[in-house]
Amino acid sequence: MARKASTTRRKSPKVDKDQIQKYYRDMLLIRRFEEKAGQIYGMGLIGGFCHLYIGQEAVVVGMQSTITDDDAVITSYRDHGHMLACGMDPKGVMAELTGREGGYSKGKGGSMHMFSKEKNFYGGHGIVGACVPLGTGLAFSQKYQDNGQATLCYMGDGTVNQGQVYESFNMAELWSLPVVYVIENNEYAMGTSVKRASAQTELFRRGESFGVPGEQVDGMDVLAVAEAGRKAVEWAKSGKGPYILEMKTYRYRGHSMSDPAKYRSKEEVNKKRAESDPIERVREKLLNEKIYTEDELKEIDRDVKSIVAEAVEFAQESPEPHPDELMTDILA
């Protein structure tokens, strides 16, 4: 029988030196990549929508550390961080953002529609909630093939009020599908607070009526995310069915680059950033435990910035898609 939802907040566990170094570098790469994406969006080099992941890095970095390369990943439109955490090339991601031929979708998908079969990353979906039944379908395939794999299905807090989400929870529990639903609760969805949009604000409880266990996690603590993630993935892979993890996180920018975020105060954002920034938390741990010196951390930052700079250069040098590509890659 499935476990009941839990409100337990885990204390940040200890990890080995190599693991915490990787967490730091991976989160920093996402942060610097997104900062640069915001910058070149302002320069007019990125068209359409662009949803930045700044502030939420601990969620995807912690969760990706709990799965293997054979497991599947799917998410919604705030997806750049997930691609990088899956090991996708920053050059291909940046080229797609700028609509260039060298992008993961050949410059025809843009910010919200990138995929990588090689990395088992199945999108990037612009329709709110669309990734949930699709992720459930990926898990159905894994169960059908009995291959021992699982699916991480990420979604936002605004998604959980969608009807298709509950249909997916029901089917996943009914068939004991190996899927972990990761709710990235950044408190505001598109611009409305959870308290104003949801009668039940403890989102990890949304699967209780189907018997799906859930847990709330400090999504600003990569170590807590990883620990909760390991247990949830183990639950799913052991044949017990789906698991819900509500990650209490926070985005520093608006819903998208076109959102001025006037529904919250600057003081609130600054307070959140000062008290719980996921990268700063790990940075302090690295310094306090003398794993790195200040100079060594600066060197990592320089290295990460150079990777992002190379990605921008690659994107700018990559040609735009040829007009002949307009009608290719279309399912008719």
The predicted structure's pLDDT at residue 268: 96
* Count of beta carbons in the 10 Å neighbourhood of residue 125: 21
Compute how many other C-beta atoms are within 10 angstroms of the C-beta atom of residue 133: 17
Q: Does residue 2 carry a pLDDT above 60?
A: no
Is 130 within 8 Å of 47 (Cβ atoms)? no
pLDDT at residue 6, as a whole number: 56
pLDDT for res 320: 96
Residue 150 pLDDT: 98
**Confidence (pLDDT) at 308:** 98
**Model confidence, pTM:** 0.94
The residues facing 66 across adjacent strands are none
- 329 confidence band (pLDDT: 50, 70, 90): confident
Cα–Cα distance list, 73 to 69, 145, 170, 269 (Å)? 10, 17, 20, 29
SS (H, E, C) 214-256: EEEEECCCHHHHHHHHHHHHHHHHHHHCCEEEEEECCCCCCCC
Task: Please give the average per-residue pLDDT across 229-241, as a whole number.
Answer: 98
> 305 with 32: CB under 8 angstroms?
yes
- Report pLDDT digits (tens) over 97-126: 999 999 999 999 999 999 999 999 999 999
State percent of the chain over pLDDT 70: 95
Tell me: pLDDT of 1 over 70: no
Buried/exposed 227-237: b ≥16 CB within 10 Å, e otherwise: bbbeebbebbb
pLDDT of residue 37: 98
DSSP assignment, residue 209? G
- Which ranges constitute the DSSP H helices of the chain? 17-42, 57-64, 80-85, 90-97, 131-145, 163-174, 194-197, 222-235, 266-276, 278-288, 294-317
pLDDT mean over 281-304? 96
Rounded to an integer, the average pLDDT of 305-328 is: 95
Checking if the pLDDT of 12 tops 90, the result is: no
Whether residue 20 has pLDDT greater than 50: yes
Q: What are the structure tokens assigned to 169, written together?
A: 């929870």
